[in-house]
Structure 1
Amino acid sequence: MNIYDLDTPALLVDVDILERNLRKMAAITAETGTRVRPHSKVYKCIEIVRKQLELGAMGVTCSKLSEAEVLADHGIDNLLVANEVVGQPKIQRLIDLVRRVDVMVGVDHPLAVDALNAAATDASVRLPVLVDMDIGMKRNGIAPEDAAELVRKVVASRGLEFRGLMGYEGHLVSMPPGEEKTNAVNEALDRFSFVIDELKTDGIDVPIVSAGGTGDYQIAARHPAVTELQVGTYAVMDTLYGSFTPEFELATTILCTVTSRPCRERLILDVGRKAVNTALSTSTLKDRPTVEMKYTYAEHGAMTVDEDAPDLIPGVKVELVVPYACGTIHMYEQMHIVRDGEVVDIWPVVGRGKVQ
């Protein structure tokens, strides 16, 4: 089927570009010796995860416990829930999951350690954890100066298994490439080194340090403390990350239909906030950078037209470049896998709606 025979909006993924992106990351990390634990929250698709594992990824990162459950249901092992799991219902689900697969979880508070340890001890299981550190993003994560003490508490907890440290320098990834960014990222990651050195005095090894993202992978992969990268967007890319990581290609677009051309300077697409996330970046039509998304409404996208474009009339189908993949792909039930303008497969977005 040709892509223009699809109804719209439809999510398209160019499989050749996707595979080039995956191979490129695999080659770079093989060179540095850092492992890849790709962050599946971006695309929530088993087929992409399997391709990454085939290329040497050592496991998979998730944001939510429900995402990890879906991956386990599809036979994926060696999971990291890069988040805190709190509250009895979720902790019980985590205990059930750890009986099925190898799954680690982040922890950043003594009370959370106590709750996880009690549940694991009662269930006669050992729950692998990474101590989650705030390395500057001011989101979750324990302060670096308190991290070693929390590690000691984990090590002393019979139901827990200390696997290492994690953190995310996400406040720095959008900086333009250059010396300033390199120094800032390394300074953030050095916080891991300080904690590792402190733990050495207690004879505590730190096997895993999980950090990094698509926006700073080249720096994080070369930091001596970092053992694995939680990169995700690189696989499909978007205009947000493409602006500062241009070595990866844009694989994902949304096929849309022009529904209205009220005037020469404006056209309306059948894709709005329920089908594309423009919160962090703007978007343009594929191969037509002067046709730019100006506003999104619930079901409409208003594009400004800075060129003479008599072909963009109601009924014409166009491709919109995805501005923010992590906030867009989850709104679709499936991806149409494309090669040379033809749909060659359909992959379900199995993690759609998995937010618990």
Structure 2
Amino acid sequence: MTTPNGYDLATKDLDPPLAVVDLAAFDANAEDLARRAASVPIRVVSKSVRCRYLIERALGKAGFSGLMCYSLPEALWHAEHGTSDDILVAYPTVDHGALRSLAADERARAAVTITIDSTEHLDIVDAAAGHDHPEIRICLELDSSWRPLPMVHVGTRRSPVFTPRQAAELARKVVARKGFRLVGLMGYEGQIAGIPDATGKFTDGLVRWMQRRSAAELVGRRAEAVRLVRAVADLEFVNGGGSGSIETTRAEGAVTEVAAGSGLIGSGLFDGYARFRPRPAALFALPVVHKPKRGIATLFAGGYIASGSASRSRLPSPYLPAGLKLIGVEGAGEVQTPVVGRAARDLRLGDRVWFRHAKAGELAERFTEYHLVVDGRVERVVPTYRGEVRNFG
């Protein structure tokens, strides 16, 4: 049997599979994000946490202000619970029921801002809530991808609003529409925030070159877009970036706040970033249920695959005991996950292997609760979104 680690000892009376959050690591990551933001407020990205207790814990720390949700029903739920009185829904919604609920709830209307990238989104609000609906807070999304050449697109494919002139034109149309108030502008530079640049591959240098060029192009384009939109409406905020791009985003004079969430959790994908290295805060344990041979330990379940392009980078990674790896032909499976390595020889039935998920918030979709570990013990147990019977897509 391998020597028990601190997480084994803290959860020795619990049966795996189970998930823990190391609160010391979570808090240290929050402090590091705030340090990197250098007094620019951080809006907490809910999709990267998906646990109301942890979201509230982050919001209670210096340097954090406001919540970024990924769906309107989620935002309404947080508004109902008083999680924050400043909630930005970062993705346009076509949910008629949620839009009707927003229009009917004065408290939610004061707290929640929805994002649009065309007047069609306004038409959907009118169709759902009626043309005489109360005033809805609106944020414009600026496409922050990099387009160095015609037909070359580097980054996420989101808003059709790319140029400052397009942003100003849409702003004028929003201001002219009854029942809407333009209060914000946002843009997510995924090609800077979301692409690792220290993976040990020959492409790392190319990635860093692309990110420098993209950041240099974006700073001028975003500043001009903000200038033109501010001439139309009195913006309350300009949001940008993510955990991986805090330094470049907060340095832009036009940006008033940055978005971050994954950096709180320190998921596996962040091991490939040169700019920062968060501490692993969220882990899950799987029990050994087979020993097909001495050098292989087969674990129960484990197929917690991250979203994104289908590649090995989306697989969970063995963390403790050290020296384990997945088998290439099986990976992480629906009902079993074999691991190999020197440590596998000493694993016995019932022993635990601790993993890190490749992405941050998606682990919470697999477990109903997180066991919060402090000083080698479970201090408390808190529900994830799933544990609160909430599924926001």
TM-score, normalization: structure 2? 0.81
Aligned position for 1:153 = 173
Q: Supply the distance in 1 between the matched residues of 2:323 and 2:219 (Cα, whole angstroms).
A: 39
Q: Supply the distance in 2 between the matched residues of 1:309 and 1:138 (Cα, whole angstroms).
A: 40
Aligned position for 1:18 = 26
| Contact 1:121–1:158 (CA under 8 A) maintained in structure 2 | no
Aligned position for 1:176 = 197
CA-CA distance at 1:170 after TM superposition: 1.2
CA-CA distance at 1:229 after TM superposition: 1.4
Structure 1 residues 2 and 52: alpha-carbon distance in aligned structure 2, compared to 1, 3 A threshold: closer
Give secondary structure in 2 for the equivalent of 1:301: strand
CA-CA distance at 1:276 after TM superposition: 5.4
Structure 1 residues 93 and 186: alpha-carbon distance in aligned structure 2, compared to 1, 3 A threshold: farther
Out of 231-240 and 345-354, give the one that drifted further. Answer: 345-354
Q: Which runs of 4+ in 1 moved over 4 A?
A: 117-124, 177-180
Aligned position for 1:92 = 100
Q: Supply the distance in 2 between the matched residues of 1:123 and 1:332 (Cα, whole angstroms).
A: 42
Structure 1 residues 166 and 241: alpha-carbon distance in aligned structure 2, compared to 1, 3 A threshold: same
What are the Cα deviations for residues 156-176 of structure 1, in whole angstroms up to 9, with x where unaligned?
122111112112111332142
| Contact 2:242–2:261 (CA under 8 A) maintained in structure 1 | yes
- The sequence identity of aligned pairs, in percent, is 25
Q: Supply the distance in 2 between the matched residues of 1:168 and 1:98 (Cα, whole angstroms).
A: 29
CA-CA distance at 1:92 after TM superposition: 1.1
The alignment's C-alpha RMSD in Å is: 2.5
Structure 1 residues 242 and 93: alpha-carbon distance in aligned structure 2, compared to 1, 3 A threshold: farther
What are structure 2's unaligned runs of at least 5 residues? Answer: 1-8, 146-154, 199-207
State the one-letter code of the partner of 1:114. Answer: D
Alignment of 1:207-218 (within 5 A): 207-218=236-247
Q: Supply the distance in 1 between the matched residues of 2:343 and 2:368 (Cα, whole angstroms).
A: 35
Aligned position for 2:290 = 260
State the one-letter code of the partner of 2:249. Answer: A
Give secondary structure in 2 for the equivalent of 1:224: coil
Answer yes or no: is 1:162 the counterpart of 2:199: no
Structure 1 residues 160 and 226: alpha-carbon distance in aligned structure 2, compared to 1, 3 A threshold: same
Structure 1 residues 10 and 27: alpha-carbon distance in aligned structure 2, compared to 1, 3 A threshold: same
Aligned position for 2:300 = 270
TM-score, normalization: structure 1? 0.89
Structure 1 residues 283 and 87: alpha-carbon distance in aligned structure 2, compared to 1, 3 A threshold: closer
| Contact 1:284–1:321 (CA under 8 A) maintained in structure 2 | yes
State the one-letter code of the partner of 1:90. Answer: A
Aligned position for 2:252 = 223
CA-CA distance at 1:218 after TM superposition: 1.6
State the one-letter code of the partner of 2:158. Answer: N
What are structure 1's unaligned runs of at least 5 residues? Answer: none
2:263 corresponds, among 197, 216, 234, to 234
Q: Supply the distance in 1 between the matched residues of 2:267 and 2:246 (Cα, whole angstroms).
A: 16
| Contact 1:256–1:270 (CA under 8 A) maintained in structure 2 | yes
Out of 10-19 and 224-233, give the one that drifted further. Answer: 224-233
Give secondary structure in 1 for the equivalent of 2:185: strand
